[in-house]
Amino acid sequence: MNELQVELKSQLEKFCLAKIEPFMEHDDETEEFRMSIFTDLGELGFCGMTIPEAYGGAGLTYQDCAVALEEIAKYSVPYAVTVSVSTMVQSIINDFGTEKQKSTFLPPLTAGQEIGAFCLSESGAGSDASSLKTTAKKADGGYILNGTKLWITSGGIAKTYIVMARTGGEGSKGVSAFIVRDGTPGLSFGKKEKKMGWRTSPTREVIFENCFVPEENRLLLEGEGFKVAMAALDKGRITIGSIGVGLAQRALDESVKYSLTRQQFNQPIFDFQGLQFMMADMACETEASRLLVQEAARLYDEGRPNQKIASFAKLKSTDTAMKVTTDAVQILGGVGYTREYPVERFMRDAKVLQIVEGTNQVQRVVIARQLKKEYTTH
């Protein structure tokens, strides 16, 4: 890490220990999201890390962002994900929006005063996002949206929604992207989902019933929405990857600390070779994941985004998070399965990292396609 990244990590460690860690067990139990924590992160500059300073962002690189999200994820995956998704919404507006759209929608998001949400998935359009059914019919001065989006992170608490809807025929070329604000007539929300993990982060259905969106809130031209969505998910592979690394690192930390103090057969359980091998593998896989995420972020920052490396990073880091958190529960034994220790929460939070921002099966498809292209070309 460079000097700036060391400072970011140190600042976030102090913040998380003071503002997040004391509440996480309670908030996970009660499914409470504290907007004050998000706002405080915004005041410190962590809610618009990669956005230019002209719009209130910090102007940091994705390598810096990965370090920051990894640190937040050690204490709370849900808050790290909230920052990650809101940052993705900002990147969409920054990359594809008009000057008016940027100046209108970005400042409250970068300041952490508001949260952004990304609306792509539907009941019949998850991994196959190009088959989405939500429609946007042309009307005088804009579009009328009808349809339902599922599993939307920050649904109901976000203020700015990036929505993919069908303006044309079947397939990806019929999809357009829109900015929809909370409070727009015809926009409503379903019940808060009861989830295995990420319980602090609300996930809801987002419903559009004759919801009018002005034409000035469309991103790019009609039919270019799928390009917007895929570009966003390319960045999401890096940010979700970094969250997986942070979660794995915290689970490893808890495992080593516990095993050094827990005595069995008159010695610390760390001294048993079976557990040493487990923790050595956990440390190795976590560091390998971190290096892949850093490489994907570095290539993106240098203007050479590599879809294969980004998919490697997302796949490896989230599979690692699932394996390492599961092993952490095993190492802590009986107490690991109770809420006396946080590793059971880590294990629950890890699972969906393998599903969001493109399932790990989809990442393997992406990697295989790139391999086929490379080997066919050469």
Length of the chain: 378
Alpha-carbon torsion angle 342, 348, 350, 353, nearest 10: -140
- Residue 160, strand partner residues: 116, 181
Q: CA 240: distance to chain centroid?
A: 5
CA distance 111 to 50: 12
Identify the DSSP state of 55: G
Please name the residue that has the structure tokens 């809101």: 86
* Side-chain half-sphere exposure of 245, counting CA atoms within 13 A: 26
Q: Which of 225, 213, 182 minimizes the C-alpha distance to 96?
A: 225
Which residue out of 114, 205, 224, 357 is catalytically annotated? 357
Specify the 3-state DSSP secondary structure of 123. Answer: coil
Counting beta carbons within 10 angstroms of the beta carbon of residue 288, is it exposed (0 to 12), middle (13 to 18) or buried (19 or more)? middle
Helix axes 77-96, 62-75, angle to 10 degrees: 150
C-beta of residue 336 within 8 angstroms of C-beta of residue 347:
no
Residue 357 among the catalytic residues: yes
C-beta of residue 81 within 8 angstroms of C-beta of residue 96:
no
Cα-based distances in Å from 302 to 21, 61, 63, 65, 297: 35, 10, 10, 15, 9
CA distance 173 to 225: 8
Please identify every residue annotated as catalytic: 357
